[in-house]
Each structure stands twice: as structure tokens, then as C-alpha cells.
């Protein structure tokens, strides 16, 4: 046994000495593996340590039930409003209003709102004039909704979204303690059969895992307009969207990126606080949506771009290094590459599925490695497309 082990070690040593490519690939593999394990076992597990603090009552929540304004922007969403708006209007909360901003809809949106207003007195609506001109109608709609709000605490969601429970408002609002100005929630997508839905839900979960954990570290870099909240006074104090009015997106992520600071942002991670949305039904529509979301990331703070970039690049180079070590160091390099691959794979799947369970998502097992490689490539391609596009033509609806 000792002789066999000595022989194997001698072979590895000779392969190491003889191949400079193997040395470079092995160093790269070890470095990338270490970085990835730090992200998955240290950074992306903050959410579980936070949950433990909540369970042990070490996190202070707002014990009162202040009045709330819920703002929904809608453009040609008559069907979704008819289906989902009652779920917002039937929340278990003592005093709140729901404000729907009709953004020049040409369907039956106005009729649906009038009909529902007879049944729900706390439903209000306003509209954007047909001839109004602006770069981003979503920002205009959100701003108009904010100006129409009666209460300081405001929650935001979309017309094609609905809360998973009737405790959504209460769970989000409990985080508005005295120093808190921003509250970030998780917006999931409905489960459907098929690879596209699998891709969308995995992408959404991993993005949520990133921004929720980063917010816990005091470095919040984004939120989603499907599930977030902030104070009306805070919006006025920070001048709202004026810093990026020239962009056709960013009403959620750039607002958070520009105004979140240590101590003024909290997250809500209970499964009952999640909102659900209808996913896109074609790759083309999803890619358009994805490209619009990515178009604002170049405006993030440098520290945020650095953190996101390190994770992304270390992930891509990890896979390249696995292949290189297995190739240049065959046969023993294959063993090293396999061990490294499964070490990261086990850590990744464990953390992703634990996060999925916390947020009420279905777990992911098969196909994770494929999506883990595919999504960064899609992101890079869309980033390049956005960079070289002369003119942005994104529309929120």
C-alpha cells in the first residue's frame, strides 16, 4: 500500500514539474474553489444566521401596525388586476390603502378598477395622461403613485404579482423600525413545467440569494419592484429617481443601490412574505426582460460591481480550470479536478436548496451545473449587447 501511494505521489510530482500548464491550471483551480466556497459558505449563509437570530428573538421588529400605502403600476393589466388585485385588497391588516396607477392602458383596466372600487373602499386609482412625455413611464407611474399616497410607509408590487399570504403587509411592515428606510423582500415566479420555467426560477432564486445576503452585510445593491418598500419621506429626501431619469429602467435596483446605507435597510425572508409573478412564456420575452434588468447594473457602485464580478469570474474560471487540470494532469489530475468539482457542487446545491426552503421555493437538484454555466454566459452576452447598443429601447410594458 505504501509503495502504491509513493508511486502515485511520484507520478503527480513528475506531471507537476513537467507541465507549466498544469501548475497554472491547478493554482487557478484552487484559488477559484476557495473564492467560491467563501461566497457559498460564508456570504450566502448570512440569511440562515439571520433567521436563527429572528427565531431566538434577537432581532427587533416594529410592534405597532402603522397605516400603509400599497402602490401598483399597471399598463394593460385588466386580466391580472381582476385576478390578483383582490388578494392585495384582502390583506390581514387594520389600515392600508391600495393605489393603482393606470399607465395609459387601452384595455379594460379602468373598468376593472371602477368595479373593484365599489367593493373595496380602500382601493384608489390615478392615471398618467395619454399625451404625457417622459423617458421611463414606470418611474413616472411610481412617482405619481407615491405622490398620491396618504401614508409614509409604502409597499410596492406589480400588477402581475400577488402576495403568497394575507400576512404580506404585516410581515414587510414589521421591519420598519425607527432607523429603517428600505425593506427588501423576495419576488418569486410561479412554478410551471418546462425548461424555461426551471431556468427563470433558478435565476431568480440565485439573484435573490445574492442581494438578500449582501443586504444583511450592509452592502445592499438592489431590490425588486415586485416586493419592496420604503418611506415616502425617504423618497423625497433622496430626490427619488432624479439621478437616473435618463435611463429607461432602475426604479427599483438603482434606487436601492444609490440610497441604501449601513443601518437603513432590512430584509424580510419569511415564506409568507414572498410575492409570486407570472413568468415569461418564451425565451425571447425572457431575454428581453433579462436584458432590461441587466442594463442598469453598469451604474451600480464600484464595490457592488466588484463583489458581483469576483463571484461571476471565479465561477467561470473554476469550470475552465476543472477541465484544464483534468486534461493536463491526466490521469491523476482528473481525480483532483473531480474532487474540486464535487466539493463546490455539494456546497452550492446545499446552500441554494436551503435558501429555496427558507423562501418557499421548490428545490433544485438536476441541471444545476448546466444552469450555473449557462446563466453567466447569457449575462455576459446580454451585457455586451447592452454595451454596444446605440440606443436603449426597453419598455417596462
The residue assigned the cell 424555461 is: 196
Domain count, the chain: 1
Does 79 map to a domain? yes
Of residues 390 and 166, the one with the higher pLDDT is 166
347 is a domain residue: no
Kindly report, residue by residue over 347-397, the tens digit of the pLDDT: 999 999 999 999 999 999 888 899 998 988 888 888 888 777 755 455 555
- The answer on pLDDT for 7 being more than 60 is no
Q: Is residue 247 part of a domain?
A: yes
DSSP-derived letter for residue 320 is: H
How is the beta sheet containing 123-128 ordered, strand by strand?
123-128, 96-103, 68-74, 153-158, 228-231, 182-184, 265-267
Residue 113's domain is classified under what CATH number? Answer: 3.90.550.10
Domain membership flag for residue 18? no
pLDDT band per the 50, 70, 90 thresholds, residue 181: very high
Q: If you write DSSP's letter for every residue of 155-190 in order, what string do you get? A: EEEETTEEESSTTHHHHHHTT--TT--EEE--EEE-
Would residue 370 count as lying in a domain?
no
* 217 to 212, 238, 249, 325, 351: CA distances (angstroms): 9, 22, 26, 35, 17
pLDDT tens across 115-161, in order?
Answer: 999 999 999 999 888 766 655 578 889 999 999 999 999 999 999 99
Grid cell of 64 as nine digits: 405597532
* Whether residue 10 has pLDDT greater than 70: no
Q: Classify residue 233: in a domain, yes or no.
A: yes
CA dihedral (86, 91, 93, 94) in degrees, to 10, reads 30
Q: What is the pLDDT of residue 8?
A: 52
- Domain assignment of residue 242, yes or no: yes
What residues does 103 pair with on adjacent strands? 128
pTM above 0.75, yes or no: yes
The percent of residues in the chain predicted with pLDDT above 90, rounded, is 66
Per-residue pLDDT tens for 267-311? 999 999 999 999 988 999 999 888 888 888 888 999 999 999 999
pLDDT higher than threshold 80 for residue 198: yes
Question: What range defines the domain where residue 173 resides?
Answer: 63-189+221-278
Note the pLDDT tens digit of each residue in 69-95: 999 999 999 999 999 999 999 999 999
The pLDDT score that the predictor gives to residue 128 is 87
Asked, for residue 246, whether it belongs to a domain, the answer is yes
Amino acid at each position: 500500500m505504501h509503495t502504491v501511494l509513493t508511486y502515485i505521489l511520484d507520478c503527480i510530482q513528475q506531471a507537476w514539474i513537467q507541465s507549466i500548464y498544469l501548475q497554472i491550471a491547478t493554482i487557478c483551480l484552487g484559488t477559484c474553489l476557495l473564492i467560491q466556497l467563501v461566497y457559498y459558505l460564508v456570504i450566502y449563509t448570512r440569511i440562515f444566521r439571520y433567521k436563527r437570530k429572528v427565531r431566538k428573538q434577537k432581532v427587533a421588529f416594529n410592534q405597532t401596525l402603522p397605516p400603509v400605502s400599497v402602490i401598483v403600476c399597471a399598463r394593460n393589466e385588466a386580466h391580472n388586476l381582476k385576478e390578483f388585485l383582490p388578494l392585495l385588497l384582502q390583506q390581514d391588516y387594520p389600515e392600508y390603502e391600495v393605489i393603482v396607477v393606470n399607465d395609459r392602458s387601452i384595455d379594460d383596466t379602468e373598468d376593472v378598477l371602477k368595479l373593484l372600487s365599489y367593493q373595496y373602499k380602500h382601493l384608489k386609482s390615478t392615471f398618467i395622461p395619454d399625451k404625457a412625455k417622459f423617458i421611463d413611464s414606470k418611474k413616472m407611474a411610481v412617482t405619481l403613485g407615491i405622490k398620491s399616497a396618504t401614508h409614509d410607509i409604502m409597499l410596492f408590487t406589480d400588477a402581475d404579482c400577488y402576495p403568497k399570504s394575507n400576512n404580506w403587509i404585516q410581515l414587510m411592515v414589521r421591519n420598519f423600525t425607527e432607523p429603517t428606510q428600505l425593506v427588501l423582500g423576495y419576488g418569486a415566479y410561479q412554478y410551471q413545467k418546462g425548461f424555461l420555467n426551471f431556468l427563470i426560477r433558478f435565476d431568480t432564486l440565485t439573484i435573490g440569494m445574492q442581494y438578500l445576503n449582501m443586504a444583511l452585510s450592509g452592502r445592499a445593491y438592489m431590490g425588486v419592484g415586485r416586493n419592496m418598500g420604503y418611506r415616502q419621506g425617504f423618497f423625497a429626501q433622496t430626490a427619488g429617481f432624479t439621478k437616473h431619469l435618463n435611463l429607461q429602467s432602475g426604479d427599483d435596483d438603482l434606487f436601492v443601490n444609490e440610497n441604501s446605507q449601513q443601518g437603513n435597510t432590512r430584509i424580510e425572508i419569511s415564506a409568507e412574505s414572498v410575492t409570486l409573478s407570472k413568468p415569461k412564456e418564451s425565451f425571447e420575452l425572457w431575454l428581453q426582460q433579462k436584458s432590461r434588468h441587466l442594463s442598469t447594473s453598469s451604474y451600480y457602485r464600484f464595490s457592488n460591481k466588484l463583489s458581483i464580478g469576483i463571484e461571476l469570474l471565479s465561477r467561470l474560471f473554476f469550470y475552465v480550470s476543472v477541465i484544464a487540470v483534468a486534461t493536463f494532469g491526466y490521469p491523476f489530475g482528473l481525480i483532483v479536478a473531480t474532487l474540486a468539482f464535487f466539493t463546490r457542487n455539494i456546497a452550492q446545491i446545499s446552500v441554494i436548496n436551503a435558501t429555496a426552503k427558507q423562501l418557499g421555493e421548490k428545490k433544485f437538484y438536476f441541471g444545476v451545473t448546466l444552469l450555473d454555466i449557462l446563466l453567466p454566459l447569457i449575462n455576459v452576452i446580454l451585457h455586451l449587447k447592452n454595451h454596444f447598443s446605440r440606443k436603449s429601447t426597453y419598455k417596462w410594458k
